[in-house]
Chains A and B, each alone.
Chain A
Amino acid sequence: EDQVTQSPEALRLQEGESSSLNCSYTVSGLRGLFWYRQDPGKGPEFLFTLYSAGEEKEKERLKATLTKKESFLHITAPKPEDSATYLCAVQAGGGNQFYFGTGTSLTVIP
């Protein structure tokens, strides 16, 4: 059974304090691993797609990496506006479905 587990559930950081969010997965033939950001009361917003182990993607203060069993979302020198819930999802090869983790709620304190 395809599964996605995110940790921690919640993370509080001081502004400028770098950290990482984890997404571990079990899927038959990974087609892609996705990171989304979700603000309260809104739908998830796409951030990154990673396709193979060793791949990295960056956007502003965010950097996503992928291994054969997990992905990390590194947040460098976060700002309060980075506060959101970050969701990880996987898509198995040959399938149309996306499986989501329960997310990490990030709070960045000024």
Chain B
Amino acid sequence: DAGITQSPRHKVTETGTPVTLRCHQTENHRYMYWYRQDPGHGLRLIHYSYGVKDTDKGEVSDGYSVSRSKTEDFLLTLESATSSQTSVYFCAIGDHTNEKLFFGSGTQLSVL
């Protein structure tokens, strides 16, 4: 299995609080992605990174920011969490060919 660790696995927070999710990889892969998965919507891309300090927006980036200061870590931050951001968040990595993704186990986030 690809070495991807997401933390925390579960989090409950209140509306308006900041939240940071972490994705850590041991594969030295170039590409890293954050997706959210919701019933009826499937996996939707939030942000992705194509190298250290190189990031780009996905289709549902509003309300989210990311940072990648090291190859192995990709952080997703919700500056002020809202109930609409309750979801399961998946991190994924892709090697230099970026021809397939390896996913982490996900983070279940509940915003009350």
- Chain A interface residues toward B at CB < 8 A: 32, 34, 41-46, 49, 87, 89, 91, 96-103
A43–B31 CB distance below 8 A: no
Name the B residues within 8 Å of A46 (CB-CB). 100-102
A15 to B90 Cα, complex, angstroms: 31
User: In the assembled complex, how far is the CB of residue A23 from the closest CB belonging to chain B, in whole angstroms?
Assistant: 12
Q: A42-B106, A44-B103, A96-B50 are in contact. Are A102 and B98 (CB under 8 A)?
A: no
A102–B42 CB distance below 8 A: yes
Q: Does B62 contact A (CB under 8 A)?
A: no
Q: A42-B106, A43-B90, A43-B106 are in contact. Are A98 and B101 (CB under 8 A)?
A: yes
**B interface SS class:** strand
Name the A residues within 8 Å of B106 (CB-CB). 41-43
Name A32's contact: one of B45, B92, B99 (CB within 8 Å): B99
B103–A49 CB distance below 8 A: no
A23 to B63 Cα, complex, angstroms: 31
User: In the assembled complex, how far is the CB of residue B65 from the closest CB belonging to chain A, in whole angstroms?
Assistant: 18
B48–A43 CB distance below 8 A: no
Q: Among residues 23 to 52 in chain B, which have CB atoms less than 8 Å away from a CB atom of chain A? A: 31, 33, 35, 40-45, 48, 50
